Amino acid sequence: MNGSKLTSILIKRIETAYKGYAVNTIIVNKAGTPDILACIDGKFFGFEVKGYRDKERPLQSHKLDMIGKAGGYSGYVRSVADMDYIIKNNIRYKKSNDTEKISL
């Protein structure tokens, strides 16, 4: 499934199953911002949606890590199950390597 279609499915699930608020940030001008920003039960979530061929990028990893350091929850999602796991387990994304090159 491509990232755009998956994003629509995920936003609908956040709004219906979790009674949360979510926005698709595809037009945000700040590079690396996760595709979906959401508030669920008073908690902040950032989801970087990846289709089956999409690759994770250092700047995206950096932004997801920043959300975790600020007290939010975040991660890469390739399926509804990935998103549900992050939400239900309060997952904070952590970069695997703090020395990777980030281009802002």
The candidate with the shortest Cα–Cα distance to 95, out of 48, 73, 62, is: 62
Which two tokens mark 73?
């929850």
Look up residue 75 and give its DSSP letter: E
Q: 97: how many CB neighbours lie within 10 A of its CB?
A: 7
Pick the CATH number of 3-89 from 3.40.50.720, 3.40.1350.10, 3.40.50.1000, 3.40.920.10: 3.40.1350.10
pLDDT of residue 27: 67
Judged by DSSP in three states, 10 sits in: helix
Predicted model pTM: 0.83
Averaged over successive runs of 10 residues, the pLDDT of the chain (104 residues) comes to 88 95 80 92 96 91 95 96 97 73 47
